Structure 1
Amino acid sequence: MVSHTVGPMEAGKKVHRLVRQLLPGVPLSGIHKMLRVGRVRLNGKKAKPDTLVAEGDVLELRMAEEDFAVVSKPTRKYGGVPREIDVIYEDETVLAVNKPMGLLTHGTAEEQRDTLANRVLAYLFDKGELGNSGFAPAPANRLDRNTSGIILFGKTGDMARELANGFKDHTIRKWYLAVVKGHVKSGGKIDVGLSRDPQQNLTRVDKESGKASFTVYDPLASANGTSIVRLELISGRTHQIRVHMQHIGHPLVSDRKYQGGKVIRRPAGSMSENAGRGMGKQQPSSRYGSNSDAEEPKYLLHAAWLRLPMGDVLHAPLPVPYRQQLLALGYPEDVISKLESEVPE
């Protein structure tokens, strides 16, 4: 007999769904038969398929442990999902990934779409770190498709909740790099409400009834009618940086949706080069997905730094296309390297 204690991430599931989760190698007809003949018991009693389980409940499966060892192995191979992810930092409980531009952060896992979340699941599956406990690592934060940079994943349920709380109470801080139109002479704080129009996929300034939104910005360099700014998000609304910078008259360069003008094109014959790596407890990386030099950014917005509650700072280097665009705009290589090396306070 096999005994399983219901954990916090499994609480609220129906018995038949939990059994299917625990026994991925058993066909659905076999699951129903086990329930029907009483080979599944909940807290010592015959389990009903639609009963909701609670944390601490004990589910008993009347089967040999050697059989359980076979049918409990995940069968999903994540076929067709690329394994390539740019790992910035990884330990037993946390995974930090540098999301490339052009890639969705997450989607519906069953669809096997090429999203960062699915790439991470495939990566962990191949490492043997995906079990049948009911917990699947998911992004603790998200970035828009055309924004690159740091995404955190909790590899355990406890860490996932800790990271979610860290973003919610702002003990995890995050900074972005952006290229905007105009010469930003001094820094400041933007405090203006935002509201979302899902039909138009637009975010708008709404001083009357918009959600409170705060962005702190500091100019780092200027060239040819543009500025590189570092921004800290105090709140995390959709398109917040893009709308806030438009609001103060400095929309992101090439951001057509928010009056940023035409897309910048690389000059003919420009050569790509590897971006420098970051600092701290970080792993070697190569260029993956749309961080390759074949892609051109729609606008230049990159989640470059993230400070964890214990004080450690993670850094995601600029993608190669971003560095090329900055060079094309007239920013010297040493300026680009310097602004990346300065850790925000």
Structure 2
Amino acid sequence: MPTFANTWNTSGLNTWLLKKALSLPAPVLRGLSGGGVVYSQGRTLDPQIQFLWRSLFTPPSGRTGLSLTNRSLESARQAWQDATSLFGVPDNLRVRYEQIGADAAGSTFGGVAPIGGLLIRPARISEDAPLLVFFHQGGGVLGGHDLSKAFCALLAQEARCPIFLPDYRLAPANRFPAALDDARTAFEWAQSNAFRLGAKSGRVAVGGALMGANLALRLSLDLRRDFKPTSAGQLLITPLVDLSDTQIKAGASLGMWPLTTGDLDTMISHYAGAGTNLDDPCISPALEPLINGQPKTFVISAGLDPLAAQGELLVKRLSAARTQTLYRRYDTLPLGFDLFAAVVDEVRAATLDIAENWVNLLRSGTTEANAEQAVV
């Protein structure tokens, strides 16, 4: 049977060819990936992601090409970087990428910044759009801003807002709270430079994926505690906001690919380090006793996502604290789905939906907080 298996990291298969392969009908994609439908707890995995997982990224050993389990962290980082390079960015985007340097050399921004990263400016920016400071995918241990570049580029264009992806320090070389310290430095610098970074409104919002969402929520709580100007809103993608949660393993059947519950364990152990109290709200912000006074919040989960219960509980707590809150769950997608924004149709559709709802949330009235929950 024709297959792309075992060639993803060595062949000359390029992004164009991959996208052509993924345009095949769903039954063909499932046939190429071994046949059958992948589902758990009544939810069916998107066939394009099933093809990527079972055909392209599964070598003869049976260990998926993006797994962190039973491999060195260096090889896992390289695998994620190779995958990101293969997937590329969505087609036909009208955005500009600008490197932000922690020193003047190599920065197209024209000045020194305390934290390096990537600025994404869409061709059209709404007058009322805030700058979104987004902490990238990777669980606090993998990669850099490239892991979230495709998702954020599409989001920036559709939401008509500039997005700054800071490069924060990664564990285990720099364990918690190094990433949180960098997140605050990046956010405060962005607040001081919002107009120069493309936000005509002068406002700044915050967001992130997985551990990046953890940083965003913790930052918002800390700003409130310190009586500092808070963000215009927070966008939390598949948030990992309670590292002590023993129920994550109970959703092991939902943790498929690219991230399993075993991978989450590995990320948490690298990020926190031995002896760290995972019940501490500093590292598990969902355990903060008082969660009031938060900015408008949009929480996104996936259907095949062992962290979805955390997201749903957070929405309930924020709603009870009268924070204007919106929740979406995309049932055919797995944890880590934002990595595939450039190549998977359902991820692109989810990103467009996220952009529309994010803009609507930011523009909506604040006379009475509410939580609108929806499953897509």
TM bucket by the smaller chain? under 0.3
Larger Rg belongs to: 1
Which has the larger share of strand? 1
TM-score by length of 1: 0.28
TM-score by length of 2: 0.26
